[in-house]
Structure 1
Amino acid sequence: MDRRIKKNQTAIMNALIQLMAEKDFEKITINEIAERADVNRGTIYSHYADKYDLMDKCLAAQLQQLIESCSAVEDETDPNPSKTSLLRTLEQLEENALFYKTLLRNKALLSFRNQLQDMINNQIKTQFLENNLNLDKLSKDISVQFLSSATVGVIEWWFTHSNPCSAKEITEKLWSMLDLNLQMIRSQA
Structure 2
Amino acid sequence: MISTSQKNDKQISRAHSLIQDAFLSLANEKSFEDITVKDISERAPVNRSTFYAHFEDKYNLLDSFISDRFMSIVSSRILSNKELNEETLRDLILIMCDFHQSMSNNYSRLYKSAAVLIDINVQLKLQDIVLNMLMNINAFSKNAKDKLELITVMISSGIYCATKRWHNKDTLKDTSLLVEEILPFMISGLKSSIKN
Q: Same fold (TM over 0.5)?
A: yes
Identify the structure with bigger relative contact order (alpha carbons < 8 Å, sequence gap 6+). 2
Please, what is the CA RMSD of the aligned residues? 3.9
Matched, 1:48 2:51: yes
How far 1:73 sits from its partner (Å)? 8.4
User: How many corresponding residue pairs?
Assistant: 176
Query: Structure 1 pair 59/29, CA: closer, same or farther in 2 (3 Å)?
Result: same
Partners of 1:180 and 1:123 in 2: CA distance: 19
What is residue 4 of structure 2 aligned with on the other side? none
In structure 2, distance between residues paired with 1:155 and 1:65: 18
* Equivalent in the alignment of 2:155: 147
1:76-133 residue CA offsets vs partner (Å, 9 max, x unmatched): xxx8244235424432442332457655643x56332222112211222123223222
* Matches of 2:19 and 2:164, distance apart in 1: 27
The partner residue of 1:184 within 184, 189, 192 is: 192
Q: Does 1:15 align with 2:25?
A: yes
**Structure 2 Cα separation of the partners of residues 153 and 18 of structure 1:** 25
| Structure 1 unmatched ranges of 5 or more | 35-39
Gaps of 5+ in 2: 1-9
- What is the alpha-carbon distance in structure 2 between the residues aligned to residue 163 and residue 15 of structure 1? 28
TM-score of the pair, normalised by structure 1 = 0.65
Contact 1:103 1:109 in 2 (8 A): yes
Find the residue that maps to 2:79 and give its secondary structure: coil
Indicate the larger mover: 47-56 or 85-94: 47-56
Partner AA of 1:130 in structure 2: N
3-state SS of 1:80 partner: helix
C-alpha displacement of 1:44: 5.4
Mapped to 1, the partners of 2:149 and 2:104 lie a distance apart of 30
Q: CA deviation at 1:5?
A: 7.4
Aligned residue type for 2:150: I
Is the CA contact (8 Å cut-off) linking 1:13 and 1:58 kept in structure 2? no
1:16 CA displacement: 3.3
TM-score w.r.t. length of structure 2: 0.64
Residue 170 to residue 31, structure 1, CA distance change in 2 (3 Å): farther
Pick from 58, 62, 69: which aligns with 1:62? 69
